[in-house]
Structure 1
């Protein structure tokens, strides 16, 4: 397969893949606007209760509505660490805001040196996303996610030299039952620890369940300032919905548009339950040794349907005068694959590369190591290209040798074309005889192409999904390798590389005139396509193209010298 056909094959595969992605986003199933009422949710099992959990109190139901009108508003507690700024509402003791201090909404510039951080959990109506938890009891009082707690302070800050902050909230019932809800945060960590300590000061046993849930609306689409930003926005192709993990069934996920059609109701021991979005994940991590019921449902809300995932714990019984504590952890942060793997089994799978995982996962690991070496993701990509070309050089050499030989045969091929004119069958037979005589394999380049195309799409997925490359600068005007080149310089450079490559590679005789014209427009086609690709991917293909040019030049030069030496030897002999 000569180089022109390689370009054509790649272009067809790339365009087909991008068209499929765009069709799925624009015309595929969208989040349903139908809602599940609390009555119908009960029919699905644990959506609003505790059915399915061994030892659960089935009569108790988790309330799905907000606090009743007229109730006292809660206080807002701000907790600031080196990586997180959290807001806790004493009404329910819920986490209603989480700002990721190391991840600004827009890149830092001279004009905007301190942009606002990404807000993952959010109490704004059209962006509503909250992490809630509480207790329920069928026979006694229990503080759920609507109950008003008491707090001693409204501001906590992790001071220099301090590694941990505890934020206690308390609730006491007239019967004597006291609950202390305690959040704990640590330096450098996106994990929030939660404990709910039940102190039974009443005269009878307290029995109930602890639960944790995530509840959110689908936010409005991002606002883009120009055409390029809109069509190069990679978040359009990322998964947005619920995800969970169990040791038996491993990783699974449910898009928001499937919540009503296929609600989750699963008993899990040693798993986790999450909501995913582009680059970030929020996940409840219950104790690994307790059976939990994971469920999903859809709730009505003036700002649109609210999608809810819930983790319901097993039954808890606390005798009079005794204490018992329910514990869990909440991860609210970026999809950092290596860190997620150490937090909970399978949590790293939230960084989902889909069908390209088998190639993308090791590719991501190699890029991480190269970035540690260079301190720049762009240079890491360049080193990755060099390593790939070194690894497959022996496979590619046959293609370069074939192209160099065909270049020398071009005058003879042109003569065959002139001799046989429009008789394509005789032309093809004559060419095959010439290839056989000169020991040329015209399909020698197929194997390298089969290797590089999966690498291309795997790298595209890595650049699209890996939060490490979000707003990662390269050099000069490239401030974000995960976004398109704003000035189209990189696509233009790649066009020059393609033109140089086409000049070095002879056009195959007998090529259909329509195909020949198409090949002439290939550089323009690639320029348009790469204008919307992440800059890091274009860097990859520029360097890869330059490597191929250098290798082709070297092989051609070597063959020319060998042929010249052979000719001199024949002349002397």
Structure 2
């Protein structure tokens, strides 16, 4: 039994770390893997414009530049700029309720050197350059305002295109209706992952960045490590999207659609030159992450090592480049940058007299908002194999937050609730361990008596357990039962955007990030040590010393965990200490 307890605790550590890694290898929950795959050549049968787009996007001329006539859109949730040329391509999209990491500026979901969302692709025609008229120059929606629409029109001898885009005051969803005549075929690009700049290199095993689509009941995801090429999704897709850890751009056609494809472009090297008056780059070194704002001339105006800390201006021709530094020449004012891998989502259109309808969502991965689209887009918020356990805890935590307005308090109360649920089995476990401790002298006597007969010793030991109604596995079972709940909470604290930049108190300004001063991990380790001291044990002195190392191991392991998770574990330890004191003082029965 002594070894079983030790093995159970060691296995629990393995579950904490290894389970998430196992998910990344097997594809459990979200597709986590970003393992390298050999770059693939353009496959036969793929659309011709795929290669052309990839070649064009390598130029510094900023594909889909928003120069020219633009329309500004203001709602309570976001600020946007649409380019008239190309029929309402989205050139800026800032979320007012979410700031970039380490920045007071709002998160921008569009703005890098790549194809803009809602770009029309027409064979033999540069859809981004097609001139369109637009019926107004500004849309302003206040809280509770009725939806408003923009109408873009293009008409030549070659064909006619009309596009109506409707905006809603209380939603990140826009309704896009496109009518195309004269052109035999077209498709709509949702843009690429280049606009989703938040936490790309977070290093979490359970974070997926890239394209996704729902086909039937299956959620299909593809790794960014595809190299250069394109994949056409088999079957009819209910929707397609590009996502990162916290944000998503999704398009839902009125009916499931065949021919949706993902396009991939491998990272590439590019040289950036500093604009006059640009910040110094002497503090940058090889390997640093980089976000650079580039002006209309292709020169760097602003740089930052943090994702989302710098952003292009709402109007004008500034763009963003995101990647990592490969070389720095401060004397020449140049940077060599390896841009990140690119994935795009392209949805085929339906030419004809009837409008082709798309619902497009650009915003946070909030399950409630995504669920309102009635297309199972909320499946993108994936808490792993234990989602069935994680979701009820998530809902309870959100409800508590709605009452108290603080997710730290919600975590504390959720911990108390879970402790109450597990109180009885844990209570029985501690009582069993206490009785085993009382039986230890008899067990030691049996070991001495039957030290040369292992079989007889085991038989007599189990007889003592049976006679005194002690379950030798009773001390391990509650820990095993609680592990799925812990893994579920880990995924909630790592992936739920509701906890992103959610403050608790004092120095804890972001419950999804590690404690910057390590206070909570140290408190967690100390409370774990105190709990161990109070726990009845039957292990020998050598094993007891090994057990004392575990709080140190957990402390260092939890340093990199979200502070919300560490808060949960610390409060759980404190409640456990109270329960142990109660059991130790209670008279034996």
TM-score, L = length of structure 2: 0.75
1:24-423 → structure 2 map (5 Å cutoff)? 29-30=34-35, 34=39, 37=42, 40=43, 43-44=45-46, 48=49, 73-92=67-86, 93-106=88-101, 115-123=104-112, 125=113, 128=114, 130-134=116-120, 136=122, 144-151=127-134, 153-159=136-142, 162-174=145-157, 178-197=160-179, 206=182, 208-216=184-192, 233=202, 237-246=206-215, 248-258=216-226, 263-268=231-236, 271-288=238-255, 291-298=257-264, 306-314=342-350, 316-318=351-353, 324-409=354-439
- Match of 2:134, SS state, is coil
Give distance in 2, aligned partners of 1:32 and 1:99. Answer: 33
Shift of 1:536: 0.9
Larger Rg: 1
Q: Residues 207 and 317 of structure 1 are in contact (CA less than 8 Å); yes or no, is this contact kept in structure 2? A: no
Q: Residues 356 and 461 of structure 1 are in contact (CA less than 8 Å); yes or no, is this contact kept in structure 2? A: no
Shift of 1:432: 4.4
Q: Residues 226 and 265 of structure 2 are in contact (CA less than 8 Å); yes or no, is this contact kept in structure 1? A: no
Task: Select between 335-344 and 14-23 the one with higher mean Cα deviation.
Answer: 14-23
- Match of 2:369, SS state, is helix
Q: Residues 77 and 96 of structure 2 are in contact (CA less than 8 Å); yes or no, is this contact kept in structure 1? A: yes
Q: Which runs of 5+ in 2 are unaligned?
A: 271-338
Q: Residues 521 and 558 of structure 2 are in contact (CA less than 8 Å); yes or no, is this contact kept in structure 1? A: yes
Give distance in 2, aligned partners of 1:163 and 1:371. Answer: 29
The superposition leaves residues 278-308 of structure 1 with CA deviations (integer Å, 9 ceiling, x where unpaired) of: 11110111113x6442112235886566422
Give distance in 2, aligned partners of 1:281 and 1:403. Answer: 49
Q: Residues 32 and 256 of structure 1 are in contact (CA less than 8 Å); yes or no, is this contact kept in structure 2? A: no
The superposition leaves residues 498-518 of structure 1 with CA deviations (integer Å, 9 ceiling, x where unpaired) of: 11221112432457x3x4432
Q: What count of residue pairs does the alignment treat as equivalent?
A: 507
Change (3 A) 1:388 1:160: closer
Shift of 1:86: 1.2
Give distance in 2, aligned partners of 1:153 and 1:16. Answer: 56
Q: Residues 163 and 176 of structure 2 are in contact (CA less than 8 Å); yes or no, is this contact kept in structure 1? A: yes
- Match of 1:296, SS state, is strand
Change (3 A) 1:344 1:424: farther
Report the counterpart of residue 321 of structure 1 in structure 2: none
Change (3 A) 1:238 1:535: same
Q: Residues 293 and 313 of structure 1 are in contact (CA less than 8 Å); yes or no, is this contact kept in structure 2? A: no
Q: Residues 77 and 87 of structure 1 are in contact (CA less than 8 Å); yes or no, is this contact kept in structure 2? A: yes
Give distance in 1, aligned partners of 2:570 and 2:224. Answer: 38
Shift of 1:427: 7.1
The answer to whether residue 583 in structure 2 is matched with residue 555 in structure 1 is yes
Task: Select between 381-390 and 302-311 the one with higher mean Cα deviation.
Answer: 302-311
The superposition leaves residues 523-557 of structure 1 with CA deviations (integer Å, 9 ceiling, x where unpaired) of: 10011011111111111111222222222222332
Higher helix share: 1
| One of 7, 11, 14 as aligned partner of 1:12 | 14
Give distance in 1, aligned partners of 2:81 and 2:428. Answer: 62
Change (3 A) 1:299 1:6: closer
Task: Select between 347-356 and 541-550 the one with higher mean Cα deviation.
Answer: 541-550
Shift of 1:78: 2.3
